[in-house]
Amino acid sequence: MFFEKIAPYTYRIPRQGKMRVDAVFFASKEILKDLEAENYASLQQLMNVATLPGIVEPALAMPDIHWGYGFPIGGVAAFDPEEGGVVSPGGVGFDINCGVRLLASHLTLEDLLPRQKELADALYRLVPSGVGSERRDVRFSKRELKEILKEGAGWLVKRGYGYPEDVRFIESQGRLPWANPDKVSERAFERGAPQIGTLGSGNHFLEVQYVDEVYDEEAALAFGLFKGQVTVLIHTGSRGLGHQVCQDYVERFLKVAPRYGIELVDKQLAAAPIKSPEGQDYLQAMAAAANFAFANRQLIAHFVREAFEKVGFTPRDHGLRVLYDLAHNNAKFEEHRGRRVLVHRKGATRAFGPGHPEVPEEYRRVGQPVLVPGDMGRYSYVLAGTEKAMEVSFGSSCHGAGRKMSRHQAKKVARERNLVKELAERGILVRAATRATVDEEMPEAYKDVSLVVEAVEGAGIGKKVARLRPLIVVKG
């Protein structure tokens, strides 16, 4: 075996070959079986990440690890700019600042059930979803879009799309301040302009849920969660704009890597030194795309509130507030172990522990909310960040269940089934653009998220606070 167990749910791949540092991953017995079934392809990707210049030990993978572009999904890697550290678009991903926002309401399951169907229809009507989905009712000029790319979610709040307090509960207050729209290509603007306020396709979704289990009363109280409470989880990112930014800079980095003496064991790891002109350009373009994604989730949240109001819940009735909004595809400068490093998180989220100044004051005593969506048939989790995460995972945790079946496989398995009907019989109403989307996202296509959470909690990099069950699912 090329890895060894070093702590509960924690495994190390010792430095070997061209690796500059050890690699560490978190897994349960069931997750180890999944890794073996894929012939350890995603662990090989993690080992490849460990070959990049300036990486700070160790290269990491969360329990929802699976194969991705260059970096595995679930990958975390920190690079020291003073030691020749690099930035790699593959370590952020094509969907820059794909992330999740959790809205918590005053409503209970009993309040919602009589209007469940009506609400499902209203949400599907008000929040466009699907490949290439666009908003026709809200459009912004090129000048306005540039301002959004600089200002993020707050720009929309100032124009009535949300409440002023929303931004306090968004990671980085919904804005990466080093964003520069001038580093974003015209093609990226063209793709993104009509898509703000839309879900997109694939695994992106909007779910109305309810709290069916509370594990940590103190943290749940701090987060404002209670059993039977209705919540809404929004999962989407920067759409075509972020995808184009990634594509543009992967191509650019592949051309310049040899000039900087960067040897790539995999071309998908295309990288440039953080301090290089190319590295700086990417970071500014990435931040602009991240701000677009924060704004995208902000606009969707506005229309979610509107949907609740259209079916008869007044703003005072529903009380929908942002519990938290966090990214799981980003690169950020952070202080860890006394040094300033650029932390890439791809399919991984921040999980800052109690007392950290970047955690909203209301939550600081218990740690940052960590939002872990599952599949549309089972459940999602709210966790809290821990001190141990700050020590062993650069303050990071998992971002979801992680796929265990390709989209093609899922469609093949689902061919003889009517998943929309199956889920409706279990009290879950699905609204989707196409049957193919539902089939690709069938519950069995994903790991059971409870097994991922078990490994997170067992490794000490997050603690369970509450479990959420789906009632309405809007898919692309």
pLDDT digits 0-9 by tens, 8-24: 999 999 999 999 999 99
* pLDDT attached to residue 439: 86
Res 202: pLDDT: 78
pLDDT score of 54: 98
Cβ neighbours, 10 Å, residue 233? 23
Query: Which residues constitute the domain of residue 205?
Result: 4-475
257 falls in which pLDDT band (50, 70, 90)?
very high
- To the question of whether residue 400 is assigned a binding role by annotation, the answer is yes
Q: Catalytic: which of 66, 243, 344, 399? A: 399
> Binding residue per annotation — 330?
no
The pLDDT score that the predictor gives to residue 135 is: 66
- 399 in catalytic set: yes
> What is the number of other CB atoms lying within 10 angstroms of the CB of residue 340?
12
Peptide bond into 273 cis (omega under 30): no
Is 475 annotated to bind a ligand? Reply is yes
Residue 401 labeled ligand binder: yes
pLDDT at 130: 64
Cα dihedral angle (114, 116, 117, 121), rounded to 10 degrees?
Answer: 140
Average pLDDT over every residue of 423-430:
93
% pLDDT > 70, the chain: 98
Mean pLDDT of the chain: 95
Reported confidence tier of residue 32, pLDDT bands at 50, 70, 90: very high
pLDDT given at position 218: 98
Query: Quick check: 1 pLDDT over 90?
Result: no
How does residue 2 score in pLDDT terms, banded at 50, 70 and 90?
very high
**Cα→Cα distances 139→193, 196, 471, Å:** 8, 8, 31
In the predicted model, what is the mean pLDDT of residues 120-147?
85
Half-sphere exposure in the Cβ direction for 446 (13 Å, CA):
28
Does the annotation list 235 as a binding residue? Answer: yes
As a whole number, mean pLDDT of residues 369-385 equals 95
271: tokens are 């990288």
- Give residue for tokens 């279990």: 426
203 assigned to a ligand binding site: yes
Please give the tally of structural domains in the chain. Answer: 1
205 is in an annotated binding site: yes
Overall average pLDDT of the 212-237 stretch: 98
pLDDT score for 415: 85
Mean pLDDT of 141-170: 97
CATH number at 63 reads 3.90.1860.10
Asked whether residue 375 is marked as a ligand-binding residue, the answer is: yes
- Give the mean pLDDT of 366-394: 96
Q: What is the mean pLDDT of residues 148-174?
A: 97
pLDDT at 133 exceeding the cut of 80: no
Q: Is the pLDDT of residue 139 over 90?
A: no
The pTM (predicted TM-score) of the whole model is 0.96
Q: Please state, in angstroms and rounded to a whole number, the distance separating the CA atoms of residues 237 and 296.
A: 7
pLDDT score of 186: 96
Percent of the chain with pLDDT over 90: 86
- The set of residues, in sequence order, having a beta carbon less than 8 Å from that of 249 and lying 6+ positions away, is 89, 270, 278, 281, 282, 285, 286
207 is in an annotated binding site: yes
- The answer, yes or no, to whether residue 340 has pLDDT greater than 90, is yes
pLDDT at 98: 97
Q: What is the CA radius of gyration of the chain?
A: 21
- Between CA 34 and CA 26 the distance in angstroms is 13
Question: Does 376 show up as a binding residue in the annotation?
Answer: yes
Stretch among 1-10, 213-222, 416-425 having the lowest mean pLDDT: 416-425
On whether 380 is known to bind a ligand per the annotation, the reply is yes
Least confident of 126-140, 276-290, 367-381: 126-140
Q: What are phi and psi of 16, to 5 degrees?
A: -155, 160
Residue 312 clears pLDDT 90, i.e. is over it: yes
> Comparing 102-111, 345-354, 424-433, which segment has the lowest mean pLDDT?
424-433
Q: What is the mean pLDDT of residues 358-362?
A: 97
Average pLDDT of the segment spanning 201-230? 96
Q: What is the structure's pLDDT at 131?
A: 66
pLDDT in tens, 73-105: 999 999 999 999 999 999 999 999 999 999 999
Q: Report pLDDT for 413.
A: 84
- For position 414, what pLDDT does the model report? 82
Q: Is the pLDDT of residue 293 over 90?
A: yes
